Every structure is written in structure tokens, then in C-alpha cells.
Chain A
Amino acid sequence: MTLLLNQVKKRFGKHVAVNNLSLEIPANEMFGFLGGNGAGKTTTFRMILGLLDRTAGEITWNGSPINYETSSSIGYLPEERGLYPKLRVKEQIVYLARLRGMGKNEALKELEYWLERFKVPDYLNQKVEELSKGNQQKIQFISSVIHKPKLLILDEPFSGLDPINVEMLKEAVIDLKNEGTSIVFSSHRMEHVEELCENLCILQKGNPVVQGSLRQIKRSFGKKNLAIHADIALDFLKDFQGVVRYKQTPEGCLLQITSEAVSQEIFQALQGKGFVRKFALEEPSLQDIFIEKVGATYE
């Protein structure tokens, strides 16, 4: 159960929306898609689903192309949430589930399970327009997973949810992954991707600028973060050899340095200057990588 993208390209007239994207997403894996607005995430998803024809390249699921015959094994949560506002939750989820090949009773049973799980069992007969935005999102999420898809595409699944609901949805996503679903999801919340994905891809204007496993990406990024809490003035570190970024914090500073070695030089430099309460070398966050990779090309 592998999703394969091979040299996929999409052009709208002269504008290149996605350029030479190659990915491999095996079963039991959650793949994160990062990118700013208009980076090509939604276009990529639409190509995977067959809503848009690709200009070049190949997309296969399990070795065969994705089309409407395979749609019952695919789930999709679009970025723009879409449900019938006037229909009751029951009516529309059952309708959407039947279009994904489910039976009526089976769909109803699953829906009850999910509503129970999301702690909103009494929404079954409510109209969607009567629900809050966050709760509508839960319903939308249910509609994308109710038919137990083997491939699940989630476009910004957590946006607009409060922390408690984010946790609830995260748990559900992790459970689905462990049951064998391949999951592709996009987000601009780095911490979600960091927490959930083993592999990821950062898109910048249609080009994959960073790609691979999270650990490897962090390691190959090279730069590290250095947090220092001290009672002395640390301004001089701004111009220190190997310091890329300097950020003042209430208790000291946060540095980005080019390599681990730089931290030792700084450690030396701090000797005898005064009292240092904290000196911690940290892995770069995905946020740092994203800003550097995506921000750099803006310049």
C-alpha cells in the first residue's frame, strides 16, 4: 500500500504550481507536507485525488493509477471545509459515506461510533449550520475517515480547532496510522508535523526544497540552537564567529549557531565572565528549518 509520486509537475498556463515532485509514502506512515500559502500543497493533493490532471509525471497507489474506482479506499479532508449547511449530520455523512461505497446501516453505525468518540453523540440529528466551527470540523473529519480509507489525505486538519479538540483529532489520526492507513497531511503548524510525521516535504513555490525523514533533515541542517541563561550582558555574542542569529530573551539569549563546535567556543568565551545558569545545546526546530529554507528564497 504505497503512494508513489514520480516527477510530478503541474503547470497552469505559464505558472508552475508544482515542479518535479517525487515522493514515496508507505503504509503505516504519516507524511507531512509543509509550505507557505500558494506553495502547491492543495494542488498536489488535488492531483493525487485526480481532481486535476497533472502536466507530467506519474502518481500511483499500490502500483495502479488513482481514479474513481479506487475512491472507496481514499479519504479526503479538503482545506476549505465543505458540508451541506441545511442537512442533518446523519443525512449528509450517510450520503457521503455511500458515495464512498458504504452501506447505509454500516455508515450509520460507524457515524455513531465516531460521534461517541469525539464526545458529541447528540449531534446526530442536528443541522450542520447549527454547530460551531470546531464541531463542524469534527463532522468533516468523520466524513473523511468513516469508510476506513487506506489512503487518507488531510489538508490542514487542525486549523481552527481548540487545543483539546486538536489532541482528540491527533489521537484519531495516530490510531488510523497504526491500523495501516497511509496518511498525507499538510499544515503550517510545524509542531504538529514535528510531532506526528516521520517523513516530510517542504514545498516552496512548487519546488520541494527539503525532503526526507525528520531526523535526517534536522541532522543535515547542521545548525543548532543554543540557549543561554546568564546574569551578564551577552550582546557581544551577536558578532561572535559562527553565530547566525541572536535573540534576546528575558533571562539571557537564544542563539542559532552554524555547528556544534561553535558552542564550545562560546562556552570558552563565557568562562570567567560571570554566573551562567543555563547552557543548553538543542536540536533545531522544524520552524527554524522552515523559516530558513522558505525565507531564504524570498530574498
Chain B
Amino acid sequence: MQPMNKFWIISSHTYLSRIKSKMFYISTILILVFIVLMTNFDSIIGVLSGEDEGKVAVIDETGELLAPLNSSLQASETELKLEPFSGSVAEGKAAVKDEKYVALLTLGLDENRVLEATYYAKNISNTNLQSDIQQHLQQLKGRLATEKLGIEQAQVMEIFSPVSMKAVALDESSKSEEELNHARGIVYVMLMLLYFAVLLYGTLIATDVATEKSSRVMEVLVSSVSPVIHMFAKIVGIALLGLTQVAIFILVGFFMLQAKQEEMGGMLESLGLQNVSVSILLYGVLFFILGYFLYATLAAMLGSLVSRVEEVNQMIIPMTFLIVIAFLLAMFGMGAPEATIVTITSYIPFFSPMLMFIRVGLLDIAIWEVLLSIGILIATILIFAVIGARVYKGGVLLYGKSSSLKDIKKALQLTKRE
């Protein structure tokens, strides 16, 4: 029988048995719930905090402060409501205690006509409300002061209007600010995807291999198909599973965004997902695939070394470390893509999928640099595939009490002729 035939039998078996598993349903549903929550974050927060909205009683000693304060509140669309309170301060406090009002605010002017205010509430832990009120009082105070000095509102606006500064790159081929923003969004998305793919599906591969090994079905499998084919079929099967899951997320996410386009349009734009250049997308896909394969090979190799499924987590710690370090470097690299450490690590295999993609996306680098990095990456994947396959071949027959990285040596010895 053709080896490719067996390859697809194993891949589809891995894919189908995983996709029917409870774990797949649970993780997919959990992440979907998360996506729905995130995209509806604003409305949910609004609903939750809406119940707590209450009125604030105001005792205005001057009688001339509440009206301008209310008008500034209206302009700012806040939910905060101020209501004049006619009683004494003591009566006001009692009303707050009885929960008729959430808080009591007294307003007055000192001898220099500077605004003075006191805030009473049952407890002062709700700093949101406080700072909201304080912010509006600050504006009011500014207005009173400028009025006193006889300055027109228009002039005040002019003074405080933000400065407009535009960054222009002189290097002609360098990326414009707009392009950079777009690139940053897509780079960020790809980094997150690769990070989670490695953590999630890498663990899945290692667990799958360890399960087959610990249930001893592995010996039957490798007697009918070569361990190398088995390993790569497994990696591809899990990759297809991952693609299915990501496709579900993207579809749902897309529909959620469509439904709420008006609110979310701004967010999409800021992520740069609306007009991404094709080349960046292609690079993203390429680096993602290469990165996945490198880590997946490592995961399969590590998974083949353990004798019990419970030991998988301990065994894949090195892989987890690598991806976490790569991710941290990448987060740093997002802010400083020209740093030397980013340049260096963009050639180091386990980091390059993330870091070279950052450089490709955010900087204007020579094509040979990208090709060199991809070349090194592919070469490493091949080397790892060869070593991994050998370790795998020996590892699946190796059963020991404790599992550690030292077993790599033992596994390799098993595959030797003597």
C-alpha cells in the first residue's frame, strides 16, 4: 500500500476521533462564549452597571453652580444625574443613608470665588462616580476662572485644543504611518494565533502520542506504518483540527462584527484588518505554518518519550518555555522592531516565526534577510524532523519509570544498530 494512503488514514483518524471528542466541543464552546462576550463587552458592562445608577443630591449654596454643571453633564453623555436638594446637609446625609440617593454633593464658593465641594456617600469605594463628578467640577472651575478673567469660551477652546502632529517617514520605501498601523494589527493577530496554536495543539499532539504509547497500541501502529509517517500524519491531523476550530472562531467572530458593525467598525480599523496588504497576509500564513510545524515536531518528539499520559505536561515544559519567551520577545519587538535583539532573534529558529514576521510587517527589510530566516527555519524543521523521527521511533518502544529529557539519548540508542 502507498505510504501516502496510510498517511491520510492516520490523519483523518486523528482528526475525526478528536473532533468527536468532548474536549473539542467544550474548548470550542468556551472560546466562542469568550468571543461573544468580548464583542458585546460594552453592552454587557452597560447592562450590569446600569442597575447601580442612581441620583446624586446636590446642595448648591450659591444657587448658580448647579445649572452650568448640569449643562456640562448633558454635553458629555454621562449617566450621572444630579438633583437639587432643598434640605440641610444633615438631612441630605440621612437621605443618602436611607439609599434615596447614591451620594450627596455640596457646592460652594470661597472668599476668592474658587469652587469648593464636598462629597458624601455611604462608602467612598465607588471611585468611578467620584472621579466623574470631580472631572466635571474641574471643567466648571476652569470656566468660572476664565469668565472671571473675561476670556471668551472660544479662546479657551483654542488654547486647549490638541496639537496635531503627523509623523512622516523620509525614507521613501519605508512604511507610512497608516500602513504601519494596519501592519501592527495583523502582526498582533498572527502572534496571538501562533502562540495559542502552539500551546493548545502542541499539547494535544504530545498528549495524543503519549496516549497511544501508554495504551501500548503504538507498537501495533508502528509495525504497520513507519513511525515517521505516523508522526507527521498525526501533526497534520491535529493541524486540520486546529484549522477547523479557528475557522469556526473566525466565522462566528465575523458575523458578530457584521451585526455590530457600527460600534465595532472603529476596532476593526484600529486592528488594520480592513485593508491589509496581501503580501503581509501571505507572510503571516507562511510563518504561521512553519512555526506550527517546528513546534509540532518538537511536541511529537517529547510526547513519544513519556510512558504515562500524566507525564506529558512535565515533558513539554521546554516547549512551553520556548514559545513563551518567543512571545515575550515579540511583544517587546512590537514596540521596538529595530532593536538588535529583535534582529538577532529573527534568525533563531524557535523565535523567528514571530520575530521575523514583526520585522517584515513593521520594517522595510531586504528580501534576502527574510529568505535567510525562512531558509534557516525550514532547515531546522527538516533537522528536527529527522532527529524527532528517530527519537520517536525509539521512544515509542521505550518504557521507563520516570520520563526526562535524558530519555532522548536512550531513545536514539534504541534506533541504532548496536
Known interface pairs A76-B220, A81-B216, A82-B219; A101-B416 also in contact (CB < 8 Å): no
Task: Give the distance in Å from the alpha carbon of A55 to the alpha carbon of B418 in the complex.
Answer: 5
Task: Give the distance in Å from the alpha carbon of A99 to the alpha carbon of B107 in the complex.
Answer: 84
Q: CB within 8 Å of B: which of A63-85?
A: 68-69, 71-72, 74, 76, 78, 80-85
Q: Which stretch in B33-41, B162-170, B222-230 binds the other chain?
A: B222-230
Write out, one digit per residue, whether chain B residues 207-219 have a CB within 8 A of any chain A CB (1) or not (0).
0000110011111
| A-B contacts, CB under 8 A, total | 77
* Contact between B218 and A101, CB atoms less than 8 A apart: no
The answer to the question of B153 belonging to the interface, with a C-beta cut-off of 8 Å to chain A, is: no
The answer to the question of B270 belonging to the interface, with a C-beta cut-off of 8 Å to chain A, is: no
Write out, one digit per residue, whether chain A residues 129-151 have a CB within 8 A of any chain B CB (1) or not (0).
00000000000000110000000
Task: Give the distance in Å from the alpha carbon of A98 to the alpha carbon of B221 in the complex.
Answer: 11
The answer to the question of B19 belonging to the interface, with a C-beta cut-off of 8 Å to chain A, is: no
* Contact between A53 and B219, CB atoms less than 8 A apart: no
* Contact between A53 and B415, CB atoms less than 8 A apart: yes
The answer to the question of A278 belonging to the interface, with a C-beta cut-off of 8 Å to chain B, is: no
Residues of A within 8 A of B220 (CB): 76, 78, 82, 96, 143-144
The answer to the question of B84 belonging to the interface, with a C-beta cut-off of 8 Å to chain A, is: no
* Contact between B226 and A68, CB atoms less than 8 A apart: yes
Known interface pairs A53-B415, A95-B13; A78-B216 also in contact (CB < 8 Å): yes
The answer to the question of A13 belonging to the interface, with a C-beta cut-off of 8 Å to chain B, is: yes
The answer to the question of B397 belonging to the interface, with a C-beta cut-off of 8 Å to chain A, is: yes
Taking each of B215, B223, B225, which has the highest tally of chain A beta carbons within 10 Å of its own beta carbon?
B223
Chain A nearest CB, measured from B6 CB (Å): 6
Task: Give the distance in Å from the alpha carbon of A66 to the alpha carbon of B289 in the complex.
Answer: 35
> Interface residue count for A (Cβ, 8 Å)?
36
Chain A nearest CB, measured from B322 CB (Å): 30
Q: At the interface, is chain B mostly helix, strand, loop or mixed? A: helix
Task: Give the distance in Å from the alpha carbon of A96 to the alpha carbon of B414 in the complex.
Answer: 25
Chain A nearest CB, measured from B394 CB (Å): 9
Residues of B within 8 A of A46 (CB): 397
Chain A nearest CB, measured from B48 CB (Å): 41
Residues of A within 8 A of B416 (CB): 53
The answer to the question of A87 belonging to the interface, with a C-beta cut-off of 8 Å to chain B, is: yes
> Interface residue count for B (Cβ, 8 Å)?
28
Chain A nearest CB, measured from B148 CB (Å): 80
Of B217, B224, B414, B418, the residue contacting A84 (CB under 8 A) is: B217
Known interface pairs A71-B224, A78-B216; A13-B3 also in contact (CB < 8 Å): no
Chain B nearest CB, measured from A46 CB (Å): 7
* Closest partner residue, chain A, to B225 (CB atom): A99
* Closest partner residue, chain B, to A69 (CB atom): B1
Task: Give the distance in Å from the alpha carbon of A82 to the alpha carbon of B6 in the complex.
Answer: 19
* Contact between B225 and A71, CB atoms less than 8 A apart: yes
* Contact between A99 and B10, CB atoms less than 8 A apart: yes
The answer to the question of B413 belonging to the interface, with a C-beta cut-off of 8 Å to chain A, is: yes
Q: CB within 8 Å of A: which of B121-135?
A: none
Residues of A within 8 A of B221 (CB): 96, 99
The answer to the question of A51 belonging to the interface, with a C-beta cut-off of 8 Å to chain B, is: yes
Task: Give the distance in Å from the alpha carbon of A98 to the alpha carbon of B224 in the complex.
Answer: 10
* Contact between B219 and A52, CB atoms less than 8 A apart: no
The answer to the question of B9 belonging to the interface, with a C-beta cut-off of 8 Å to chain A, is: yes
Can you report 23 residue pairs joining A to B where beta carbons are below 8 Å apart? A13-B413, A46-B397, A49-B223, A51-B222, A53-B417, A55-B417, A55-B418, A68-B225, A68-B226, A71-B223, A71-B224, A71-B225, A74-B223, A76-B220, A76-B224, A81-B216, A82-B216, A83-B215, A85-B215, A87-B17, A98-B9, A99-B225, A100-B224
**Interface residues, chain A, CB within 8 Å of chain B?**
10-13, 46, 49-55, 68-69, 71-72, 74, 76, 78, 80-85, 87, 91-92, 95-96, 98-101, 143-144
Q: Which 4 residue pairs spanning A and B have beta carbons closest together?
A: A82-B216, A82-B217, A11-B418, A55-B418
